Amino acid sequence: MNKTLLLAAVICVLTAGIHIIMGSREIVTPFLDSDLAQVPKLTLYAVWYMVSAVLILTAATLFYISFKKEQGGRELLFFIGILYTAFGLVFLIICFTHFDEKLFLELPQWILLLPIGGLTLWEAYTWQKAIRLSE
């Protein structure tokens, strides 16, 4: 069992839960009640659940890989790590470019996304290093 990947998976499940439960209540419901036109509103609503699917599926993948190293797992870890790091950086860039210190806590997604990305990239890197050392 890989404890680092298991931790990343647990953080990912926590993130998915927060996204689906709290986000639905605090973001989606008010958004759907807004006066925005139906097509953009429903498009963004679909994107919300696409993000939910990514969070759940990547959490499941990290759980699986944490218990069983398989061929191609390293590449998948690099992809997931880069994906979550990019997601976290998007929130940080938005906070920095809007010049409001409060945004760092009002948009706290980066606090969970970056550790998932970092832990996953670390394991992908060490997996690659371990394979090179064994050759």
CA–CA dist 109, 122 (Å, integer): 20
Top pLDDT among 25 and 118 is at: 118
Q: Work out the angle between the directed axes of helices 3-17 and 109-134 (0-180°, nearest 10).
A: 160
For residue 37, the SS3 value is coil
Contact 65, 76 (CB under 8 A): yes
Top pLDDT among 42 and 106 is at: 42
Q: What is the pLDDT of residue 133?
A: 47
Phi, psi at 33, each rounded to 5°: -85, -5
Q: Which helix (H) or strand (E) holds 66?
A: helix 38-67
Top pLDDT among 29 and 106 is at: 29
CA–CA dist 10, 32 (Å, integer): 30
Q: What is the pLDDT of residue 71?
A: 63
